[in-house]
C-alpha cells in the first residue's frame, strides 16, 4: 500500500489536454508580444511617460472651482442622463429578456432574435451611439439618454434573462395546476422570483451609466464631459480637475448607496450584519424585527411586516421614483421636438446600408488591428497590477483587515473616474497615439479586474485550504497549493471577459486621440459617411463574437 501511494504522480499527467493548456498559454503570450511590438511599446520609456502624467497632475492641482454654477448644472444633467437612460434600458430590456429566456419563451426563433438584439446592442459603444444620435437629433442630453438606454440593453437584457431562467419551476407548476395561463404564470410565479435580481442589476447598471454619461459631452450628447473637454483643450487644467473631482464624488456616493441597496435585496446585508460585533443599535433592530415577524406569523398576515429591511427598500424605491420624476421634468430636453424628429433617425439608418469601406479599407483594417492590440496590451498590463490588488482585497486571503479595507477603498476611488477621462489626461500629458491610450486603458482594467479577482478568491472552497494547513503547510504553501488551483478557472473566465469589455472600450479611444479605430469611426459620422460607420460597427461586432467564442472555449478547457 505504501509503495502504491509513493508511486502516484504529484504533477499533472502529460495528456493531450495538458499540452493543449500549455499551447493556449503560449499562444496568449505570443499575442501579447505581437501587440506590444505592434504598438511600439517600450519598457525604457514607460517611466518617462508616467512622469509626464505626474507633471500634468501637478499643473492641475489645486482644482479651481471658479465656474461652480455651470459645474453643478452639468453634473445634475449627467445624473439625469444616466438615470433616464437606465430607466429606458430597463423598460426595453424586460420584453427582450422574457423573449430570450428558455422557460418563458418556447419558440427557438423568438429566443434567437431576442438574444441577437441583446448581443448587438452590447457590441456598439454608447459614445458611438451618442455621436450617431447627435447627427440625427442635434446636440443635447436626449442623445445621451438614447445612447445609454440602447447600449445598456446588452447587459441588462442578458442578466434579466439569466435571472428569469434561474427561477424555481415549482411555483410556476403550482399556478399552472390551478388553471393559470402562460402570461399569468410568468407574472405571478416567475417575475416575483427574479425581481430582486432585476433591481440589483438596474442599480449596478446605473453606476456604470453615470461613469459613461460623464464623457458623453465629448461628442455633444450633454453632461459634464463637455466642460472637461473644453478645459483640457484650452489648457485650463485646474477647472478640468475640479470637474473631475465633482464627477468622482457623485459616482462614489451613487456607488455606496447602490451597493447598500443591492446587498439588501440579495440578502448580503443580513449576513454581514450577523458577522459584525453586535452593538446596542443592532440588538434593538434585531429585537424589533423579530417581534414584527412573530406578530405577523401569529396573525397569519398575508402581507410582510414593516421590518427594517422592508422600510429601507421601500424608502429607496420612493427616493429613486422621486429622482426619476424630477429628472424627467428638469432635464433640458424638448420632448415634443425630439419625438417629431424621430424620422431623421430613419434617414440616418437608411444611409448606413449597404455597409462599405468607401475606399478606406486599409485605414479600417489598420484601425481595427490597432484597437485589438491596445486591448490585448492594456488587459495584460492591467491584469498584472490587478492580481496582487485582488489578493490584498480578498478578505479570506488577507487576514489583516486594515490592508484589505484600504485596498478596496483605493480601488473604489479609482473606479470613480471614467476611463475616457483618464485617456484624455494621458493624451494631454503624453501626446497623441496608441501608447497613452493603452496606458490609460490599463489603469481602468486594473481597478476593474481587481474587484473581479477579489470576488473570485473569496468564493474559493475553504476545505482544501484547511486540509493542507492541517498537515503543516505554511500560508504561502496553502495559497499556491489550495487557492491558486481553484482560482485558475474563474481567472481565465474573467480574463476573456475583460478582453471583451475593453476591446469595445479601445474602439473609442481614438475620439480623444488615444489610437485605434475610434478616429476613423467618429470622422465617418461627422462627414456623414454612414456606410463606413456601419462597416466598422459590424467589424467590431464580429471581433467581439470571436473573443466570446474563444473565451467560452478557454473556460471549458480550464474548467
Q: For residue 509, what is the domain's CATH number? A: 1.10.3720.10
What is the Cα–Cα distance from 364 to 539, expressed in whole angstroms?
Answer: 9
* Residue 313 domain-assigned (yes or no): no
Looking at the structure, do residues 419 and 287 belong to the same domain, yes or no? no
Q: Which residues constitute the domain of residue 150? A: 67-266+335-351
* Residue 541 domain-assigned (yes or no): yes
Strands (E), 464-547: none
Q: Which of these, 514, 429, 439, lies nearest to 237 by C-alpha position?
A: 429
Looking at the structure, do residues 377 and 451 belong to the same domain, yes or no? yes
**pLDDT reported for residue 375:** 93
Neighbour count for residue 471 (Cβ, 10 Å): 7
* Residue 341 domain-assigned (yes or no): yes
Question: Rounded to a whole number, what is the largest CA-CA distance in the chain?
Answer: 85
What is the Cα–Cα distance from 328 to 85, expressed in whole angstroms?
Answer: 11
Looking at the structure, do residues 104 and 229 belong to the same domain, yes or no? yes
* Residue 60 domain-assigned (yes or no): no
- Least confident segment among 146-150, 279-283, 379-383, 545-549: 279-283
Write phi, then psi, for 280 (nearest 5 degrees): -65, -35
Instruction: Evaluate the omega torsion of the peptide bond into residue 410 and state whether it is cis, within 30 degrees of 0.
Output: no
Last residue of a domain, one of 291, 326, 351: 351
Confidence class for position 269, pLDDT limits 50, 70, 90: very low
Q: Which range is most confident: 2-11, 158-167, 197-206, 497-506?
A: 497-506
Looking at the structure, do residues 249 and 105 belong to the same domain, yes or no? yes
Q: Which residue in the block uniquely carries the three cell numbers 438574444?
A: 115
pLDDT 10s digits, 423-480: 877 887 777 888 888 988 998 899 888 888 887 887 778 888 888 888 887 888 888 8
From residue 51, give the alpha-carbon distance in Å to each of 45, 177, 385.
10, 70, 18
- Least confident segment among 55-59, 62-66, 265-269, 552-556: 265-269
Looking at the structure, do residues 76 and 98 belong to the same domain, yes or no? yes
* Residue 99 domain-assigned (yes or no): yes
Average pLDDT of the chain is: 79
* Higher-pLDDT residue of 235, 381: 381
Confidence class for position 274, pLDDT limits 50, 70, 90: very low
Looking at the structure, do residues 89 and 184 belong to the same domain, yes or no? yes
Looking at the structure, do residues 289 and 407 belong to the same domain, yes or no? no
Q: What percent of the chain has pLDDT over 90?
A: 9
Looking at the structure, do residues 468 and 498 belong to the same domain, yes or no? yes
The set of cell numbers assigned to 285 is 433592530
Looking at the structure, do residues 73 and 130 belong to the same domain, yes or no? yes
Residue length of the chain: 559
CA-based torsion, 200, 202, 204, 206: positive or negative? negative
The rounded Cα 495 to chain-centroid distance in angstroms is 14
Looking at the structure, do residues 341 and 300 belong to the same domain, yes or no? no
**pLDDT reported for residue 279:** 53
DSSP string spanning 373-405? HHHHHHHHHHHHHHHHHHHHH-TTT---HHHHH
Q: Are 203 and 258 in contact, with CB atoms under 8 Å apart?
A: yes
The set of cell numbers assigned to 290 is 423579530
Looking at the structure, do residues 243 and 300 belong to the same domain, yes or no? no
* Residue 317 domain-assigned (yes or no): no
What is the Cα–Cα distance from 31 to 17, expressed in whole angstroms?
Answer: 21
Looking at the structure, do residues 346 and 218 belong to the same domain, yes or no? yes
Query: How many folded domains does the chain comprise?
Result: 3
DSSP string spanning 260-295? HHHHHHTTHHHHHHHHS---HHHHHHHHHHHHHHHH
Q: Are 205 and 89 in contact, with CB atoms under 8 Å apart?
A: yes
pLDDT 10s digits, 287-304: 777 777 777 767 776 677
The set of cell numbers assigned to 545 is 463574437
Amino acid at each position: 500500500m505504501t509503495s502504491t501511494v509513493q508511486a502516484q504522480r504529484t504533477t499533472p499527467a502529460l495528456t493531450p489536454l495538458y499540452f493543449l493548456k500549455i499551447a493556449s498559454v503560449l499562444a496568449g503570450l505570443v499575442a501579447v508580444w505581437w501587440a506590444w511590438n505592434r504598438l511600439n511599446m517600450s519598457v525604457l520609456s514607460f517611466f518617462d511617460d508616467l512622469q509626464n502624467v505626474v507633471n500634468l497632475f501637478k499643473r492641475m492641482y489645486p482644482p479651481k472651482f471658479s465656474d461652480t454654477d455651470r459645474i453643478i448644472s452639468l453634473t445634475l444633467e449627467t445624473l439625469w442622463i444616466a438615470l433616464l437612460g437606465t430607466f429606458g434600458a430597463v423598460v426595453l430590456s424586460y420584453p427582450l429578456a422574457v423573449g430570450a429566456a428558455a422557460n418563458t419563451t418556447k419558440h427557438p426563433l423568438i429566443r434567437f432574435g431576442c438574444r441577437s438584439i441583446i448581443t448587438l446592442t452590447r457590441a456598439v459603444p454608447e459614445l458611438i451611439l451618442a455621436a450617431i444620435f447627435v447627427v440625427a437629433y442635434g446636440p443635447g442630453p436626449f442623445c445621451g439618454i438614447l445612447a445609454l438606454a440602447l447600449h445598456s440593453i446588452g447587459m441588462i437584457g442578458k442578466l434579466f434573462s439569466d435571472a428569469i431562467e434561474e427561477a424555481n419551476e415549482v411555483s410556476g407548476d403550482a399556478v399552472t395546476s390551478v388553471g393559470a395561463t402562460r402570461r399569468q404564470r410568468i407574472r405571478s410565479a416567475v417575475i416575483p422570483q427574479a425581481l430582486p435580481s432585476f433591481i440589483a442589476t438596474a442599480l449596478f447598471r446605473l453606476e456604470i451609466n453615470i461613469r459613461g454619461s460623464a464623457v458623453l459631452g465629448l461628442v455633444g450628447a450633454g453632461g459634464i464631459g463637455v466642460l472637461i473637454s473644453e478645459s483640457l483643450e484650452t489648457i485650463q487644467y485646474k477647472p478640468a480637475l475640479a470637474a473631475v473631482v465633482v464627477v468622482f464624488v457623485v459616482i462614489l456616493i451613487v456607488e455606496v448607496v447602490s451597493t447598500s441597496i443591492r446587498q439588501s435585496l440579495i440578502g448580503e446585508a443580513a449576513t454581514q450584519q450577523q458577522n459584525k460585533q453586535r452593538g446596542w443599535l443592532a440588538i434593538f433592530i434585531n429585537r424589533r424585527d423579530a417581534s414584527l415577524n412573530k406578530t405577523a406569523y401569529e396573525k397569519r398576515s398575508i402581507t410582510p411586516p414593516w421590518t427594517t429591511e422592508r422600510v429601507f427598500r421601500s424608502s429607496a424605491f420612493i427616493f429613486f421614483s422621486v429622482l426619476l420624476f424630477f429628472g424627467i421634468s428638469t432635464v433640458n430636453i424638448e420632448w415634443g421636438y425630439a419625438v417629431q424628429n424621430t424620422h431623421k433617425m430613419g434617414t440616418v439608418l437608411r444611409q448606413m446600408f449597404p455597409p462599405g469601406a468607401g475606399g478606406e479599407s486599409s485605414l479600417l483594417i489598420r484601425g481595427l488591428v490597432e484597437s485589438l492590440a491596445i486591448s490585448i496590451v492594456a488587459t495584460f498590463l492591467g491584469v498584472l497590477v490587478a492580481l496582487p490588488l485582488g489578493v490584498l482585497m480578498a478578505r479570506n486571503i488577507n487576514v489583516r483587515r486594515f490592508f484589505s479595507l484600504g485596498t478596496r477603498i483605493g480601488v473604489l476611488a479609482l473606479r470613480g473616474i471614467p476611463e475616457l477621462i483618464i485617456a484624455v489626461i494621458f493624451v494631454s500629458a503624453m501626446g497623441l497615439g496608441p501608447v497613452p491610450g493603452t496606458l490609460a486603458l490599463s489603469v481602468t482594467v486594473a481597478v476593474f479586474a481587481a474587484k473581479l479577482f477579489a470576488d473570485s478568491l473569496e468564493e474559493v472552497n475553504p476545505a482544501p485550504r484547511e486540509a493542507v494547513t492541517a498537515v503543516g503547510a505554511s500560508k504561502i504553501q496553502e495559497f499556491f497549493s489550495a487557492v491558486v488551483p481553484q482560482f485558475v478557472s474563474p481567472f481565465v473566465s474573467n480574463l476573456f471577459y475583460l478582453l471583451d469589455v475593453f476591446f469595445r472600450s479601445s474602439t473609442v479611444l481614438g475620439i480623444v486621440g488615444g489610437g485605434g479605430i475610434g478616429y476613423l469611426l467618429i470622422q465617418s459620422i461627422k462627414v456623414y459617411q454612414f456606410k463606413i460607420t456601419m462597416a466598422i460597427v459590424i467589424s467590431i461586432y464580429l471581433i467581439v463574437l470571436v473573443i466570446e467564442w474563444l473565451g467560452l472555449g478557454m473556460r471549458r478547457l480550464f474548467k
